[in-house]
Amino acid sequence: EAQVTQNPRYLITVTGKKLTVTCSQNMNHEYMSWYRQDPGLGLRQIYYSMNVEVTDKGDVPEGYKVSRKEKRNFPLILESPSPNQTSLYFCAAGSGGLGSGNTIYFGEGSWLTVV
């Protein structure tokens, strides 16, 4: 079964304390991406990766880092979290290059609260 797994699902942390949200996929997909979901703003892309060692900024990358050392993993790193990063985060993965309209699949989401 195609799966995108995120951890932790729920986290309350304090301002400035570094944290990492892990994302793993079992589909051998090249494409992976992080989104944040905020009321009234829908899904906004943070970073995406077309393949191992290839990452690009999305629309709201400030305050976040990512790495893609292996195909299956795409962790999201908040070096110094701030309250405006309180949000629901989704990792997604999909296959195929240009010319394909392959679907992307989402994890269950990670609720992050920064106090």
Partner 1 sequence: AQSVAQPEDQVNVAEGNPLTVKCTYSVSGNPYLFWYVQYPNRGLQFLLKYITGDNLVKGSYGFEAEFNKSQTSFHLKKPSALVSDSALYFCAVRDQGTTSGTYKYIFGTGTRLKVLA
Residue 13 to residue 72: CA distance in whole angstroms: 26
**Binders of partner 1 among 79-98, rule CB under 8 A?**
90, 92, 97-98
CB of 15 vs partner 1, minimal distance in Å:
26
| Other residues' Cβ atoms within 10 Å of the Cβ of residue 10 | 9
> Rule CB under 8 A: is residue 8 a binding residue for partner 1?
no
53 binds partner 1 (CB under 8 A): no
DSSP 20-52: EEEEEESS--SEEEEEEEETTTEEEEEEEEEET
CB of 43 to partner 1, least distance (A): 4
- Indicate whether 103 belongs to the interface with partner 1 (CB under 8 A): yes
